[in-house]
Amino acid sequence: MATVDIVLRGFSVVTSEGNFAPCGVYLVRADDGRTLVYDSAHAGRRMKLLNALERRGIDPDRVDVVVASHGHWDHVQNFDVFKRAELLAHADELAYLAAPDPGDHATPAWTRDLFAGARGVADGEELLPGVRALHLPGHSPGSLGLAVETADGVAVISGDAVASSAAALAGFCPNVFFDAEKADASLKRVVELADVVYPGHDRPFRITGATAEFLTDIRPMTVGVGGLPAEVVTVEARTGLQRLLHGAARQSSTKGNR
């Protein structure tokens, strides 16, 4: 049976001065000994990523496969760390990255350079023994998850198709850059299929009735803020959902085109 390990925790930090966007990075070890890394986070977490891999005895040069959940900046900036891995993404995402919408702030035009040499995969394709590709469109055109057969049942690594347990419980995708209807259908597909969800920006969880049961505890976190006097910084913890339809007019005009 394959195993799934958390390399970097996903969570969410949004400030009035911008979004830090720490995504989950996951390691899959297949039965045949091959290793797969799902997402790579952004360059602000590169040292954290390297240290986390080292603690797990993983040499980045020996990782076999890297899977991109999608092209958003916060997931893609450390692919180059894995020098010999095959980079996989959904074919629709690669097509979109060739000419991303200029209004898509999460997918700058330079993103395509990070995907040079990537291979496009399709829904249902077996990437490693016990590891299948899931096309989960909506958050982006080619959002790609993984269904992994583990000893604990089916683990779905979802990327931002299911960014959080709150989204899974609410039953809709709150953060849509492409197609809201498809995003909601993808979220439902994950919730129905998964025994455990490894989300884009939250701790892994199981859905048990109307609540989420988390697989890991929250560790204490130190936050340093430079350049600002303490009295002007306020911290508000919240788990509320917002439907952030990116360019609603554009979405309705392009729906179904990609």
Stretch that binds Zn ion, among 33-41, 114-122, 154-162, 227-235 (CB under 5 A): 154-162
Is 5 within 8 Å of 35 (Cβ atoms)?
A: no
Distance CA 84, CA 73 (A): 22
Nearer to Zn ion (CB atom), residue 58 or residue 91: 91
Asked if 72 touches Zn ion (CB under 5 A), the answer is: yes
Stretch that binds Zn ion, among 37-45, 65-73, 221-229, 233-241 (CB under 5 A): 65-73
Nearer to Zn ion (CB atom), residue 160 or residue 179: 160
* Shortest Cβ 199–Zn ion spacing (Å): 12
* Shortest Cβ 201–Zn ion spacing (Å): 9
* Shortest Cβ 33–Zn ion spacing (Å): 31
* Shortest Cβ 24–Zn ion spacing (Å): 12
Q: Is 185 exposed, middle or buried (0-12, 13-18, 19+ CB in 10 A)?
A: middle
Nearer to Zn ion (CB atom), residue 35 or residue 140: 140
Nearer to Zn ion (CB atom), residue 29 or residue 72: 72
* Shortest Cβ 190–Zn ion spacing (Å): 15
Nearer to Zn ion (CB atom), residue 76 or residue 133: 76
Asked if 160 touches Zn ion (CB under 5 A), the answer is: yes
Nearer to Zn ion (CB atom), residue 160 or residue 202: 160
* Shortest Cβ 196–Zn ion spacing (Å): 21
Asked if 246 touches Zn ion (CB under 5 A), the answer is: no
**Which position has the token pair 């390691």?**
27
- Count of chain residues binding Zn ion (CB under 5 A): 2
Residues in touch with Zn ion (CB under 5 A): 72, 160
